[in-house]
Amino acid sequence: MPTAPIPFGNRQESGLDPLSGAMPVAKNVLTDSRGAVRRRPGLVAHPAGPLSAAVVGLHETTSGVLYAVDQGIPERNIYRVTGTGAAIVPGAARDLLGKERPVFAETESILVIAGGDKPQKVLLNTHDSSRLEGNPPKATHAASNASRVLLNDLVEVTGGVHYSSPAGGTSYTGFEEWQTEGTSGYFTAEARPDRVVAIADSANDVFVWGTRTMQMWSPDENMIYAAGPTMEVGCQAPYSIIRVGSGFAWLDDRRRIVMGDGRSEVVLSDPIQADLQDMGDVSNTFGWRYTSGPWDAFIWTFPEEERTLCFQKGAGWSTWETTGRGHFPVTARTELLATGETVVGLDDGSLAYLDRTVNTDLGEPIVAYVETGFDGHDTDRQKVCVAVRLAIRRGHAASVEPVGMLSWRDDEGQWGAPIQVGFGSPNETESVVTLRGLGTYRRRQWRFTFSGTEDLVLAAASEDFRVVGED
């Protein structure tokens, strides 16, 4: 009797046809390196309490100081966040100008924040905030490289990147020198006449994205910055860029999500490409990363669509949302270096931890489920489902036994009533649950739903079947 796996997991292929076997949805799940399926991490309230408006920027410095920026009107406040509260940083001109998402560049002495207008500086030793002096360009992006600060130019040199004079230690004088000759200046990314929309530093290089191309620049003894390789891959969403090792992943000018190191790129979004093409405005897409324990996930939030998509290398795609709000409310993210915890800002102004040991979002249970595509086991002859076997973590010490729900439909018919799959009482040691005699079909689609607030793990699923007419 043949046995075949039931491919539950975060392998969402919503841009492909489920009748051909493509998984239409994987919601609120992550898969570890051995294929075990769990719910995504949950949101736990941060003790600092809410800011005055939606959190649009978070950054922890190398010394462990956490800063946040809200989207307040008329002022965008900058906060220093501690374990007991959040206080607006001091300074006569302490607010961040502009309307764009904050981008941070940290040096030894100051934190530079670009937000679509004149950049801001925060002194790391006193937390005082003021405008970055020396006539820097209005910018949306900032980077720190080779003891300099770099900014893209929104007004005068649309293909240009300005760099400051160098500075080190506690001195920041050089970071406020922005002349176009001497030790400061600018370079122009001229591989194509496209506008520079984003910059970022990685190792010893500066990545410069245009609307149609991406070019690397490196420090040079004679030229200060010298042009490196150019890729015919642009960027349609300047805040979709996620650092991945010495490269990045981002939404490119063809609405593909790609990962590249400046010399070559790999397309990640093929399974969901039709979804991306069907979206409206994606220019505000926000990219971020979640790393904890066995999980390393790249997440992109599409604010105009109120959708959040998650990618895991070696696994695939899934959708994240919340039970109460529908859309996933994270609007900013940083990782605490000392503890490895992920702190996120939410669209209601509150702060939270994203915790893989928690199965609720601020107390609301996370509803997670996966649907396979239709599977006919390589034949359209009628099959008998002899048994389904689910390997799950059992033995939960809960007052009410947690359950998962297994359901299916045949040949695009209606979904049948789900079958409860018990995750076991505290003394349960049998890890495989067997369900027998689940009917006949030609092509079948499966769904598994996680319920309750306990840590539910689906390690594997398989089906024993028999083709009608065969011995």
pLDDT of residue 191: 56
How do the pLDDT tens digits run along the chain, 471 residues long?
A: 899 999 998 889 988 889 888 999 999 999 988 888 989 999 999 999 899 999 999 999 999 999 999 999 889 999 999 988 999 999 989 999 999 999 999 999 999 999 999 999 999 999 999 999 999 999 999 999 999 999 999 887 667 899 999 999 999 999 999 987 678 898 887 656 688 999 999 888 999 999 999 999 999 988 899 999 999 999 999 999 999 988 999 999 999 999 999 889 999 999 999 999 999 999 999 999 999 888 899 999 999 999 999 999 988 999 999 976 779 999 999 999 999 999 999 999 999 999 998 989 999 989 999 999 999 999 989 999 999 999 987 766 666 777 889 999 998 889 999 999 887 776 777 789 999 999 999 999 999 998 777 778 889 999 999 999 876
From residue 55, alpha-carbon distances to 76, 132, 347, 367, 371 in Å are 10, 22, 6, 25, 33
Confidence at residue 397, expressed as pLDDT on a 0 to 100 scale: 66
User: Tell me, what's the pLDDT at 395?
Assistant: 66
Q: What angle do CA 166, 117, 219 make, to 5 degrees?
A: 25
The pLDDT assigned to 10 comes to 87
Question: CB–CB of 164/174 below 8 Å?
Answer: yes
pLDDT in the model for residue 326: 77
Cα separation of 306 and 284, whole Å? 11
> What DSSP string runs through 261-305?
-SS-EEE--GGGHHHHHH-S--TT-EEEEEEETTEEEEEEEETTT
**CATH number of the 42-362 domain:** 2.130.10.10
pLDDT score at 90: 97
The confidence score (pLDDT) of residue 9 equals 86
pLDDT at 451: 74
CATH code, 3-40+369-467 = 2.60.120
Q: What is d(CA 366, CA 223) in angstroms, rounded to the nearest whole number? A: 54
Please give the model's pTM, rounded to 2 decimal places: 0.93
The string over 225-253, giving b where at least 16 C-beta atoms fall within 10 Å of a residue's C-beta and e elsewhere, is bebbebbebbbbbbbbbbebeebbbbbbb
Q: What separation, in Å, do the N-terminal and C-terminal C-alpha atoms of the chain show?
A: 9
> Chain centroid to CA 134: how far?
35
- Domain extents for the chain? 3-40+369-467, 42-362
